[in-house]
Structure 1
């Protein structure tokens, strides 16, 4: 297996999203399968970046966006949409709701007093990314990340037991206030999903250092960019031109893109890269394939 420095790594969605006719499958037929890698969004980030303990996503994002994480304890409290059903309530969206900064600030205003009573402060870093500054001596249980809970019953992913009760009660108060907020009534009238809950996750303190074998990253994901910043490697926003210029040792993040978007917007770039530099195609479902420029001459490999 080659080291990261010898290829561009392309992080892609689950392999099963690509049908056999997808142009990307031509590279899979030409390349060599290698040992499976990490699965999922958080699993992938943990494979690319190394740190002690659980990923302190909130502190990393806050430092990247505002530069004031310092040595405080932070917890993501991202705006979320939950939908009640016959058996409970399901998390349908988190961190990807259509929401402007003025709307976010308006929604947060009545919540501040609730958090202040607990010694916490709620900060809006972006309309989609909110963080709680938590007292250092406050017990913080494990919270599941959004990707672990999307589409599932909300209560299966809340902290349980006496230690989690404080947070369940707090979340219930927040949900009542958001349900009553006039802005959510306006959003429903406009055909937009309400922001009727928060999702707590990614708690912790900013790590003193983060290690990585990557030389740089190209992507749009805030946590990926924050990790790169903390690890001291360059990070570029994802455009066709930055992807075209990717060099060995860099990670190109496309795992949030649809198969159709990859076949359309990104395929010319990927095809050109495959002729110029070795590429490791890493799928979020774990499969990996190493493609070298000369592999395109493997014309004897027919369609699967």
Structure 2
């Protein structure tokens, strides 16, 4: 059995905070990594890695929107040959001298609220004869089919979360249209009664949408894996597109082992990702401790039992990924002694 373990934000992104690793007990992870050979790759983020793994080329954007329609789309909503783009609801707020974006991980919203907000947008753009229709297929995942509108070049929502947006707005030859649309939507949503109610109840207002992940459906994504284990929407979408088995992520490696047959498996452990993006150091440490208990410790035990022909751990960072790989024979090299995890994070 071969296992690819994809772990975004395994290392804390701020190298200037070395104390974050202090008193972290991670013997299984450190032992496993010690047996591995390692190399570094440039990284464009989780979405780029997943697309690359399935042979999906970047268009103007990574085509997340048409792929995700495989999961989110209704029977009468298919990507077809159309250009689709995500227009996800976000909360913008001012910090110091910049506008900072928060995505749906920091607010709750019902489908009824999403429909109320997009109804206002759709009415406005229909009245102005612009062929723009917002589809709230999930409360936190909105889509827009683009026909006559010029395609956009955008930054992934994951790149923008908890950051100032001034330098991250749509760019390229069509940026004037998309930036103007972004500002127009803010004005429409700002005074919506729903947002006034949310503000009165101390909830973040939904005062904009973030355009990202535009493209047309790629042709025939291919999978190097037998099975995909993940709660990530894009990973599930790519599994569907490539006709690969997809299974929701079990809570532990022990439960995964009960269902995993021979083959080549991709397991996506993204519990650390949001904590790192929002600079939640305590939450990141606690999540890493839980991964040690529920995943790394059982996987290390399985490795010592010779279960894996090859195990690869991809520690995906913002600009660089560290790839750790061990074959069955490497796992018996007792002279490779474990080192503190902070050594690898440098």
- The answer, yes or no, to whether TM exceeds 0.5 is yes
CA distance in 2, matches of 1:37, 1:213: 19
After superposition, where does 1:86-97 map in structure 2 within 5 Å?
Answer: 86-94=96-104, 97=107
1:234 aligns with 2:245: yes
How far apart are residue 159 of structure 1 and its match? 2.5
How far apart are residue 123 of structure 1 and its match? 0.7
1:132 aligns with 2:144: yes
Structure 1 232/242 Cα, relative in aligned 2: closer, same or farther at 3 Å? Answer: farther
Residue number in structure 2 paired with 1:44: 49
Among 6, 15, 24, the residue aligned to 1:11:
6
SS of residue in 2 equivalent to 1:201: strand
After superposition, where does 1:113-152 map in structure 2 within 5 Å?
Answer: 113-116=123-126, 117-135=129-147, 137-152=148-163
1:104 aligns with 2:104: no
Residue number in structure 2 paired with 1:221: 232
1:288 aligns with 2:295: no
Among 36, 60, 63, the residue aligned to 1:32:
36
Structure 2: unaligned runs, 5 residues or longer: 13-19, 273-286, 340-346
Higher mean alpha-carbon deviation, 237-246 vs 107-116, is at 237-246
Q: How many residues align?
A: 297
CA distance in 2, matches of 1:201, 1:122: 14
Residue by residue, what CA displacement relative to the aligned partner does 1:23-50 show, whole Å, maximum 9, x if unpaired? 3122112x22233345221232133111
CA distance in 1, matches of 2:72, 2:172: 34
CA distance in 2, matches of 1:208, 1:299: 46
Superposition TM-score, scaled by structure 1 size: 0.87
Residue by residue, what CA displacement relative to the aligned partner does 1:218-264 show, whole Å, maximum 9, x if unpaired? 10111111111111111111113763233431100003443133124
- Cα pair 1:13 1:283 within 8 Å, conserved: yes
SS of residue in 1 equivalent to 2:145: strand
Higher mean alpha-carbon deviation, 18-27 vs 279-288, is at 18-27
After superposition, where does 1:258-277 map in structure 2 within 5 Å?
Answer: 258-274=287-303, 275=305, 276-277=307-308
After superposition, where does 1:45-60 map in structure 2 within 5 Å?
Answer: 45-54=50-59, 55-60=62-67
Higher mean alpha-carbon deviation, 7-16 vs 61-70, is at 61-70
Residue number in structure 2 paired with 1:202: 213
CA distance in 2, matches of 1:115, 1:266: 49
CA distance in 2, matches of 1:198, 1:81: 8
Structure 1 303/267 Cα, relative in aligned 2: closer, same or farther at 3 Å? Answer: closer
Residue number in structure 1 paired with 2:275: none
- Cα pair 1:123 1:132 within 8 Å, conserved: yes
Among 311, 319, 341, the residue aligned to 1:279:
311
Structure 1: unaligned runs, 5 residues or longer: 1-5
Structure 1 283/162 Cα, relative in aligned 2: closer, same or farther at 3 Å? Answer: closer
SS of residue in 2 equivalent to 1:212: coil
SS of residue in 2 equivalent to 1:192: coil
1:165 aligns with 2:169: no
Residue number in structure 2 paired with 1:3: none
